[in-house]
Structure 1
Amino acid sequence: MSGVQIIAFALCFCGIGAIIAATVSNEWKVTSRASSVITATWVFQGLWMNCAGNALGAFHCRPHLTIFKIESYIQACRGLMIAAVCLGFFGSVFALVGMKCTKIGGSDQTKAKIACLAGFIFILCGLCAMAGCSLYANRITSEFFDPTYIAQKYELGAALFIGWAGSALCIIGGSIFCFSIAENNKTPRMGYTYNRAASAMSIRTKGCNGSADLKMPRAPPKHFDKNAYV
């Protein structure tokens, strides 16, 4: 089970890294080339700032200076992604304590409970990240396919796909943690039979009654005359 837990922890660790990369990225949505008038300039936005670039390689970013003027779905996505990062951190700590290959955490039963808790935390981490990315993507697609929306339309950015991939890895790794503990609890314990020590009398009887390994020499029979005791 230690190898399975190591694989699960590696999946979760990569997923948390992808979630952090998606959270700090500025490419949550990019301008659609189909509706853009100037194709040499594009705009891409994230949770923390808006950026613009051109074909010459010049970029300019402007952070969101206040949270009160930001749209509600961006604030919700911020909260979900930050919650996912925090859950991933605590899940990693619990996973390191509960894994069988580590020497901390107490007895095997205690470590199993901690590892199962880490699996649930990783699953929650993945669900939060997936909800945040899906909420942002839903807003982009609804604006893109809305014929009455006349403002600049955007497409899905690379950060959304990175966030989805990271959340999937966390969910898979957390599920492996939980199922590995369940399989470990279902494994039947090996029974031990207790053989009583053979008594000295039984060993002596066995040796005298025809044991193949212990052959005792027999004394030759003695013939006594009828006047031997007279």
Structure 2
Amino acid sequence: MRAKLEVLALVLGSVGLMGTVAIAALPTWRVSAFIGANLIVMEELWEGLWMTCYRQIDVNMQCKAYDSLLALPPELRAARALTCVSIALVVVSLLVTGCGTQKSICCSDDVRMKNVALALGGSLFLLSSLATLIPVSWVAHTVVRNFYNPAVVDAQKRELGDALFIGWATSALLLITGVILLFQYSKRTSKEQVFTGEHLMTEKDVKKEDSIYLPRTASSFHKIQEYV
């Protein structure tokens, strides 16, 4: 059962890796809102981390990379960095967790190192979940705030894109993966402590074969006192 949970964690972590790559590549973080004048113009605008895509009626979608990083709003600049960090963390987490599984040939003779690798992998998955959740929630908060801000014109208002929902689902998967691995680590350590305690108690009870046990004899002085 424990091996199955570890395999499940690796599968969820792999899906989480694909999710982080997808949200970093998709240009649908913010999409145009069809309200007010935009309903008549019928144009569609997608804004992602690396490019914007624009399409009008009967015109194919055209995408263009951002001209300058400094021209981006702060939430998109932070999202670029955090999504890259999240991808790197997930990759490292999968490698470390693979070394810590029971079926792995890495550190096969060192159970303690496997337990440490499993705990480290779970912790890195939790960090990757946080690194994914922060930019997605930040961008979503900015979109909702500007949407209900009367000072912002209708043409500049945006709606939540598909990448944000994928990001929330990916963050949940990475969180579940980290919790499973840390749970496995706690089960392993508790079992190891019980086994170590039983082993020490057995060693205390069993006499060593090479040891010599001599019976206790009365001293000669005690014999003289009895004679007197």
- With the shorter chain as reference, the TM-score category is 0.7 to 0.9
1:117 counterpart residue number:
120
Residue of structure 1 equivalent to 2:141: 138
| Letter of the 1:183 counterpart | K
Residue identity matched to 1:26: P
Deviation at 1:47, TM superposition (A): 0.7
Per the alignment, residue 51 of structure 1 pairs with 53
1:120 deviates by 0.3
Map 1:51-90 → 2, pairs under 5 A: 51-56=53-58, 58-90=60-92
- Residue 56 of structure 1 deviates from its aligned partner by 3.1
Partner Cα separation in structure 1 for residue 15 and residue 99 of structure 2: 18
Please tell me whether the aligned partners of residues 115 and 189 of structure 2 are also in contact (alpha carbons under 8 angstroms). Answer: no
2:201 aligned with 1:182? no
CA contact (8 A) 1:33 1:39 kept: no
Deviations 1:23-69 (A, max 9, x none): 11000011111232335321111011111123436111111122122
> TM-score, normalized by length of structure 1?
0.79
Q: How many residues are aligned here?
A: 196
Contact 1:50 1:62 in 2 (8 A): yes
| Contact 1:30–1:44 (8 Å) recurs in 2 | yes
Structure with the bigger percentage of helix? 2
Shift in Å, 1:105: 2.6
CA distance 1:14–1:57, change in 2 (3 Å): farther
SS for the counterpart of 1:133 is helix
Structure 2: state its 5+ residue gaps. Answer: 207-228
Of all paired residues, the percent bearing the same amino acid is: 25
Residue 15 of structure 1 corresponds to which residue in structure 2? 16
Structure 1 unaligned regions, length at least 5: 197-230
User: Aligned AA for 2:50?
Assistant: W
CA–CA distance in 2 between the matches of 1:12 and 1:55?
40
Shift, 1:156, TM fit: 0.2
Backbone CA RMSD of aligned residues: 2.0
Per-residue CA shift, 1:87-145, capped at 9, x if unaligned?
Answer: 11111111111111111134111011011101000110010100010011111011001
TM-score, with structure 2 as normaliser: 0.80
- 1:172 matches 2:204: no
1:101 aligned residue: 103
Contact 2:101/2:118 (CA < 8 Å) preserved in 1? yes
C-alpha distance in 2, partners of 1:57/1:124?
42
- Contact in 2 for aligned 1:77/1:133 (Cα 8 Å): yes
